[in-house]
Amino acid sequence: MALITLTTPQIKDDPEQQIRNFKRTKDFLVAIDTDGCVTNNMNGKQMVIFHPHYMGFYNLWEIESYFREIAEYYNLFSFHRGCNRFLAVQYTLKSLYERTDIQKIIKEKNISLPNKETLDEYIEFCVEYNFGLGNPSLEKFIESHPLDFELYKLLGWSEAVNRTFPSINPKIPPFSNVKNSLMLMNEYADVVIVSQTPYSDLLSYWETQKLSPYISIIASQEMGTKMHHIEVIKNVCDYDEEKILMIGDGDSDLKAVQKSNGSFYPVIPGTEEDSWNKFPEYFKIFIEGGYKGEIEEKLLTEFSKAFLKKPRWEEPDYDHITAYKEKQEIRKSLYERLNPNGRLLIL
């Protein structure tokens, strides 16, 4: 089945049509995340694009080390990894406001933090009307709040991210065994992409890497949560729960498929190549009906160990400089490769 694509007007007016109208062709359904799961781009997109753009839009460079530490925790190193960008900002702002050490610094330096109430209201709006968290729904929210300049800044940051991301993302290849695994999946399953990345970025990546022939549709942030994507497709096509599999690298992926009582195959951060190399063996077990239970639980235990259980700043021996330096070599290598002239604090 060839990849069905949406036009820009369709994304703006009715993005969910694609999952509502999905046609089943196989007995099995496999949903796959992209960023950090199919391609090793998570650190790069957050550290080199998302975080510096946000600090630039909101004049937060004077607390760069604190902002990066918090934003990296929620976006990369905790179970929140892979969550929607606006939710990640919400979590980050909450910690910025709650931490007494940061509050002391911003008072001394007369720094203004972004208005978190504005973001909270936008997220509540999307929940109330079942809109996906993304630029199209943010634009709808702005229509009813035309004088709230904080919203324009938030949209500007998100648009800047979207404009920058395509210059880096398509160049990063998929993990080595992804293509072979997709070919195997295609024999038995309808394969769909479920992600909190914008549709245009996902389409560009899958087409640039010549992987689009192996998938049926792309469900992006504009179409709601990953959980919503899978639930709608499951109900529309009446897949048996034991024949649904989600492949992902974050807790949002796990929860997305649990709502539909499907199974989860983790691409474990830090050992992604190994996860994909072992996937064909586990997929055959899944097709044969032997995956759910002991085998899945063993992999979930390994998956859980890959994430921090709580932020460093909540540990009794916490030292901010030490904590920031822990990820310093990752940041340096990414900037050297992707943005050598970019702004980065080195301690």
Could you tell me the CA-to-CA distances from 32 to 38, 230, 236, 292 in Å, in that order? 8, 10, 18, 18
**Cα 338 from chain centroid (whole Å):** 20
pLDDT of the residue at 166: 83
Asked if residue 109 and residue 27 are part of one domain, the reply reads no
Among 86, 3, 30, CA closest to 253: 30
In a domain, 270, yes or no: yes
* 167, 196, 222 - which closes a domain: 167
In sequence order, the 6+-apart residues with CB closer than 8 A to the CB of 13 are none
Residue carrying the six token digits 């979590």: 91
Q: Are 104 and 47 found together in one domain?
A: yes
Decide if 98 is inside a domain: yes
Within a domain: 312: no
Residue 327 is assigned to a structural domain of this protein: no
Residue 26 belongs to domain with CATH number: 3.40.50.1000
User: Is residue 77 assigned to a domain?
Assistant: yes
Largest CA distance in the chain: 63
Residues 233, 123 share a domain: no
Q: What is the pLDDT of residues 94-104, one digit of tens each?
A: 999 999 999 99
Give the tens place of pLDDT for each residue, 300-347. Answer: 999 999 999 899 999 999 999 999 999 999 999 999 999 999 999 999
Range of the domain at 188: 8-40+178-304
* Single pTM value for the model: 0.87
Domain count along the chain: 2
pLDDT, residue 1, reads 56
**Rounded average pLDDT over 8-16:** 87
149/214 same-domain check: no
35 with 50, same domain: the answer is: no
263-266: strand order across its sheet:
217-219, 189-194, 28-32, 244-248, 263-266
Is 3 within a domain? no
Same domain for 300 and 182? Answer: yes
- pLDDT value of residue 174: 95
Q: What is the pLDDT of residue 171?
A: 75
Q: Which has more confidence, 255 or 166?
A: 255
Q: Is 343 domain-assigned?
A: no
Give CA separation, 46 vs 85, 122, 340, in Å. 10, 22, 16
